[in-house]
Amino acid sequence: MAKGFYISKNMGLAGLLMGAVAVVIIIALAAVYDKEKTKNQNKPVDGVAMLTTASPTTSSTLSTPKDPWEHYRLPDSLSPVSYNITLWPRLVVNASTGLYIFTGQSAVVFQCKKDTDLIVIHCNKLNLTLLNGHHARLTGLDGATAPTVKTSWLQVKTEYLVIQLNGKLTAGKSYRLSTDFQGELADDLKGFYRSEYTEDGGKKVVATSQMQATFARKAFPCFDEPAMKAVFHITLIHQRGTVALSNGRDVETVNSTIDGTEVTMTRFEPTKRMSTYLLAFIVMGQKFTYTQFVFVDTNCLQVRIWARRKAIAEGHGNYALNVTGPMLNFFERYYNASYPLSKSDQIALPDFNAGAMENWGLITYRETALLYDPAISSVGNKERVLTVVAHELAHMWFGNLVTLRWWNDLWLNEGFASYVEYLGADYAEPTWNIKEQTILNDVHKVFAVDALASSHPLSRKEEEVNQPDEISEMFNTISYSKVLYVLEHLLQQGSLCSRTSPTFAFNNTVYSDLWDHLQKVILTTPGMSLPHTVHDIMNRWILQMGFPVVTIDTATGHITQKHFLLDPDSVVDRPSPYNYTWLVPIKWMKGGVEREQHWLLQETGISNARSEWVLANLNVSGYYRVNYDMDNWERLLNQLTTDHTVIPLINRAQIVDDAFNLARAKVINTTLALRTTRYLSQERDYIPWESALRNLNYYILMFDRGQAYGVLQGYLKMQITPLFEYFRTITVDWTRVPTGHNDQYNQINAISFACRMGVERCRVLTSDWFREWMLNPDHNPIHPNLKTTVYCNAIAAGGVAEWDFAWQMFKNATVATEAAKLRSSLACTKVPWLLNRYLDYSLDPAKIRKQDCTSTINYIAGNVVGMPLAWDFIRARWNYIYTEYGGGSFSFSNLINGVTRRFSTEFELKQLKQFKEDNARVGFGSGTLALEQAIERTTANIKWVAENQEPVMKWLANECT
């Protein structure tokens, strides 16, 4: 799935190198995957050994092993070969049950790997029709005789259909298991589900699917683990006049009549051998349509973009279509493998939980991640389309063709796709400097989470990730971004690309095989060397959580490292095999000149001529923070104020971010961090400003309800005003938009921060713009880039009239990105009753879509007035929210994170703990970890405010005079 990504700047070279690594990884995983099938056969059939390691003390009945169906992992006695699946979704409600349903038949041919009298197959929330008195029918193939069924039942907790046989299945023989079933086509965004939207005043229903991670079992009985690959023969039955899509091209469409109902049956070409989590089934009315073009090169690839008819008619699919072709070509060259399928469909769904899902050949998107309207969408919207499309297309090879063996290795899958996504995006839009623009977003995000004692290593043991909730917790920021740095450590080492010859042996887990191969490449490449083995370097980064702060004493030349923890008092109770030390590559410069790279722990040598500044982690190419002796800090600060352009752009952002975080961790003084913001009155670039704003945001969050806020606002107003005026000038009094991609982002920042800090000209500007629109609703004078901030500030400065107007515009909005902007801006009002009413709306699916509920509450919580209202709201309704929105939903942990962000008092901590206790029985699902993190963060905030409020106020007061 799609999230953010990070990429380094010296990409020209590294990009080339990555090409080689891509091929290596692909080969490595492909080989490992095939190996694993054999390896699995040696495991005990019931997987007991695995589980006892995981929880040796959970029960006193250790001597009586659990039955296979009580384990969350499938036994390894059976292996699927192919499925025949026929599904018939009904897009109208069933009059007698009041439900939307689908019916289906499925037959799976599997091979028996080990004699067994037990069939365990995933099946969740399906009503199976009894066949000869049992839940399924078993047939022997190729002369094998199938034993008769003794008994069968559904094991609800572990989501299995269990069938006990009267005799044994024989190793080496194949069998077919057939089922007939009925399921609910619910609007729960999981498995085969229904998506509803309104168009032309009427309700429209689309049947669609989301299988990752564990929901294919809700569509048909299947061996629902990523390594259980098979070929799928899919037929969809649907109402005449509707269109059906699946992973492959449709090969046959026939009209027929079933039980008196006129239907069309669409049969699809058999899929490639693939994992269940990548399947997709969609049935939609004629209201949906597509734009398409067919590549005329080698394999006549069919490329189509699907969306609501109106969106396509207005050309909103064109941008995605424009970039898909070049990117597919790029990836073919990059992976050195042609696109594996005969078609590529991408569809924008009105109701979708993740940003996008890389179903093989039929990628599903939120509308905002695929559709782009030049007249209405902002530069950020466009970039989102570009990067998400690139990410999903990258998965068509990495992830889909070559697949992780189990979810514990999700980091490899997502991290790699997130890396390659950048390359594809940069190829399609070379002038955007995406690398610069996004580098800090992801680094900083990952740093923030990974600096907590409750973080976790990138790679988890397979047996630590079993249940659906644990699997969905793997989809977090650390999985997605950390690996990029880690890989880059190796890439900087030289020309990996010159050798990719694939003569290597693989064993064990995926990543260690990869290290073996990289090691061989390095050993056999002339001129390449590393001071340590690839295993030594890489395992330290992926098997232990966190990252170091590297301290350079320029007087003595000493370099040291220490595990960086944001809360200095937190206790790490997770042992590390490496004692939390890393092999750190240190790129650095002295007096503006780049010097030779060091490997920390190997040597030290950064001595100083005392007058020149030293800067380490050049362009932030390594995953660590840097601290210096005070003299060097002074020299750096001095350089920033005299001529900041001497220091590379990315490092200006790094200095600010490192300083603020080191201060939070009490490694340096808070005032030193604040001093890195002094030069900002001269800074005109986006990246450093954005870095500063994010860090200052913490100060704003901690202080905006207290007495320090006055001076803080005063200082920041002083710093932002020159930037605001700069953009006023270069846009000729706000009549144009800057040409540079990053300048466009910076203009948005300048306006939104200036307004927030109370720059009067800014308030007038935004309120006037909005009023102009209110007077003439058909003509919106606000540039798409500026809409979010102008709406928000005008609504914040206004009252019920502004709010109701925006709500009306939200309801009328036909473009998803426009609706999203209004939806976030509606949370900006300062009027409590409007905020409370909006909270109520957020749980009413007729007003706010289910997929948008948690983010809407988060927007409200982001507002200083709305925060306590939102907290009361979710506490009062936790049970309901959890039942309706919890479970496997990915945005669930965001809700807890969002609402508790400002928490910084003992009273709030008490409330948080009470909340945890009160709802222990209800549970927190995929938000469990987030809740722990919220408690930890609140504790740290309390301490921070107690220690810093005084000195910060003093420093600020001094600056303001």
Give me the DSSP letters along 703-714: HTTSTTHHHHHH
Q: Is residue 264 near ligand NAG by the rule CB under 6 A?
A: yes
Q: How far apart are CA 319 and CA 327, in angstroms?
A: 12
**Could you say which residues in the range 175-194 bind ligand NAG, by CB under 6 A?**
176, 182-184
The span of 16-24, 82-90, 637-645, 848-856 binding ligand NAG (CB under 6 A) equals 82-90
Residue 906 annotated as binding site: no
The interface region with Zn ion, picked from 48-56, 336-344, 407-415, 758-766 by CB under 5 A, is 407-415
Count CB atoms within 10 A of the CB of residue 159: 21
1 binds, among Zn ion, ligand NAG, none (CB under 5 to 8 A by kind): Zn ion
Distance CA 878, CA 916 (A): 11
Q: CB 669: neighbour CB atoms within 10 A?
A: 17
| Least distance CB 236 / ligand NAG (angstroms) | 14
Separation of alpha carbons 933 and 454, rounded Å:
7
Taken in order 90, 92, 95, 96, the sign of the CA dihedral is positive
Give the whole-angstrom CA distance, residue 47 versus residue 73.
8
What is the three-class DSSP state of 121? Answer: strand
Decide: 956 and 714 in contact? Cβ < 8 Å: yes
Dig out the tokens for 794 from the structure: 């005008």
Residues 195-234 that bind ligand NAG (CB under 6 A): 233
Backbone angles phi, psi at 572, to 5 degrees: -90, 110
Among 38, 61, 255, 286, binds ligand NAG (CB under 6 A): 255
Among ligand NAG, Zn ion, none, partner that 417 touches (CB below 5 to 8 angstroms by kind): Zn ion
Report, in Å, the least distance between residue 2 CB and Zn ion. Answer: 5
- Work out which of 44, 167, 374, 605 binds ligand NAG, going by CB under 6 A: 374
Residue type at 292?
Q
Nearest distance in Å: CB 102, ligand NAG: 8
99 contacts ligand NAG (rule: CB under 6 A): yes
Count of Cβ atoms closer than 10 Å to residue 737 Cβ: 17
Query: Which of 150, 240, 558, 574 contacts ligand NAG by CB under 6 A?
Result: 240
- Residue 290 parent element (H or E): strand 288-294
The one catalytic residue in 184, 367, 383, 392 is 392
Report the residue number, 315 or 710, with the smaller CB distance to ligand NAG.
315
Between 322 and 509, whose beta carbon lies closer to ligand NAG? Answer: 322
Per CB under 6 A, the list member of 253, 602, 642, 645 interacting with ligand NAG is 253
Could you say whether residue 107 binds ligand NAG (CB under 6 A)?
Answer: yes
User: Which member of 181, 223, 232, 319 binds ligand NAG (CB under 6 A)?
Assistant: 319
Total residues interacting with Zn ion, rule: CB under 5 A: 3
Residue 80 near ligand NAG by CB under 6 A? no
Judged by CB under 6 A, how many residues of this single chain contact ligand NAG? 24
574 forms part of the interface with ligand NAG (CB under 6 A): no
Question: Is residue 135 part of an annotated ligand binding site?
Answer: no
Instruction: Choose one: 195-203, 316-324, 430-438, 663-671; the region binding ligand NAG (CB under 6 A).
Output: 316-324
| Exposed / middle / buried, residue 87 (Cβ in 10 Å: 0-12, 13-18, 19+) | buried
Look at residue 233 and give the partner it binds from Zn ion, ligand NAG, none, a contact being a CB closer than 5 to 8 Å depending on partner kind. Answer: ligand NAG
Q: Contacting ligand NAG (CB under 6 A), which of 58, 127, 166, 681? A: 127
Residue 239 binding target from Zn ion, ligand NAG, none, CB below 5 to 8 Å by type: none
Pattern 734-763, binding to ligand NAG, x per CB under 6 A? ------------------------------
Least separation in angstroms between residue 194's CB and ligand NAG is 12
Residue 819 touches which of Zn ion, ligand NAG, none (CB < 5 to 8 A by kind)?
none
In angstroms, rounded to a whole number, what is the distance separating the alpha carbons of residues 600 and 616? 12
| Residue 1 found at the interface with Zn ion (CB under 5 A) | yes
Cβ neighbours for 346, distance < 8 A, ≥ 6 positions apart: 304, 305, 306, 320, 324, 362, 363, 365, 370, 389, 392
Residue whose CB is less far from ligand NAG, 428 or 486: 428
Assess contact for 885 and 854: CB atoms under 8 A: yes
* 109 near ligand NAG (CB under 6 A): yes
Q: Please, which residue, 86 or 551, has the CB nearer to ligand NAG?
A: 86
Rounded to whole angstroms, how far apart are CA atoms 783 and 711?
A: 33
For residue 338, give the nearest of 425, 273, 275, 396 by alpha carbon.
Answer: 396
| Order of strands, sheet of 160-169, starting from the edge strand that comes earlier in the sequence | 116-122, 160-169, 149-155
Rounded distance, CA 154 to CA 156, Å?
Answer: 6
Q: Measuring CA to CA, which residue among 604, 656, 609, 661 is closest to residue 633?
A: 656
641-660: contacts with ligand NAG (CB under 6 A) = none
CB of 234 to ligand NAG, least distance (A): 10
Q: How far apart are CA 958 and CA 961, in angstroms?
A: 6
Known catalytic residue at 392: yes
**Nearest approach, Cβ of residue 400 and Zn ion (Å):** 10
Residue 151 near residue 131, CB atoms below 8 Å: no
356 within 8 A of 305, measured Cβ to Cβ: no
Q: How far apart are CA 254 and CA 263, in angstroms?
A: 8
Residue 239 CB, shortest distance to ligand NAG, in Å, is: 10
Query: What is the four-CA torsion angle of 128, 130, 134, 135, rounded to 10 degrees?
Result: -10
CA 358 from centroid of its chain's CA atoms = 12
**760 contacts: CB under 8 Å, gap ≥ 6:** none
Q: Taking CB within 5 to 8 Å according to partner kind, which of ligand NAG, Zn ion, none is near residue 241?
A: ligand NAG
CA-based nearest residue to 356, from 888, 907, 750, 890:
890
User: In what helix (H) or strand (E) does residue 202 lie, and over which residues does it extend?
Assistant: strand 202-210
Nearer to ligand NAG, 50 or 101 (CB): 101
Applying CB under 5 A, which of residues 347, 362, 417, 465 lies at the interface with Zn ion?
417
Taking the least distance from each CB to Zn ion, the nearer of 237 and 402 is: 402
Q: Which stretch binds ligand NAG (CB under 6 A): 76-84, 166-174, 277-285, 455-463?
A: 76-84
Which range binds Zn ion by CB under 5 A, 1-9, 338-346, 634-642, 799-807? 1-9
Cα distances (Å, whole numbers) of residue 679 to 3, 302, 672, 688, 751 = 33, 53, 13, 11, 19
Point out which span in 209-217, 260-268, 277-285, 411-419 binds Zn ion (CB under 5 A): 411-419
- Residue 82 touching ligand NAG (CB under 6 A): yes
680 binds Zn ion per the rule CB under 5 A: no
Q: Please say whether the beta carbons of 795 and 803 come within 8 A.
A: yes
Report what 201 binds from ligand NAG, Zn ion, none; CB cut-off 5-8 Å by kind.
Answer: none
Of positions 239, 318, 607, 721, contacts ligand NAG by CB under 6 A: 318
Of residues 209, 205, 206, 208, the one with CA closest to residue 191? 209
Query: Count of CB atoms within 10 A of residue 626's CB?
Result: 24
Q: How far apart are CA 254 and CA 616, in angstroms?
A: 67
Per the listing, tokens 């037959």 go with 107
671 makes contact, choosing from ligand NAG, Zn ion, none, with CB < 5 to 8 Å by partner type, with none
Check whether 414 is labelled as a binding-site residue: yes
Q: Give the integer Cα–Cα distance in Å for 196 and 168.
A: 47
Rg, Å, the chain Cα set: 29
Shortest Cβ 318–ligand NAG spacing (Å):
4
Applying CB under 6 A, does 123 fall inside the site for ligand NAG? no
Span from 152-160, 174-182, 333-341, 410-418 in contact with Zn ion (CB under 5 A): 410-418
Annotated binding site: 391, 395, 414
Annotated binding site for Zn(2+): 391, 395, 414
Residues that bind Zn ion (CB under 5 A): 1, 414, 417
| Residues tagged active-site | 392
Residues that bind ligand NAG (CB under 6 A): 82-84, 97, 99, 101, 107, 109, 127, 176, 182-184, 233, 240-241, 253-255, 264, 318-319, 322, 374
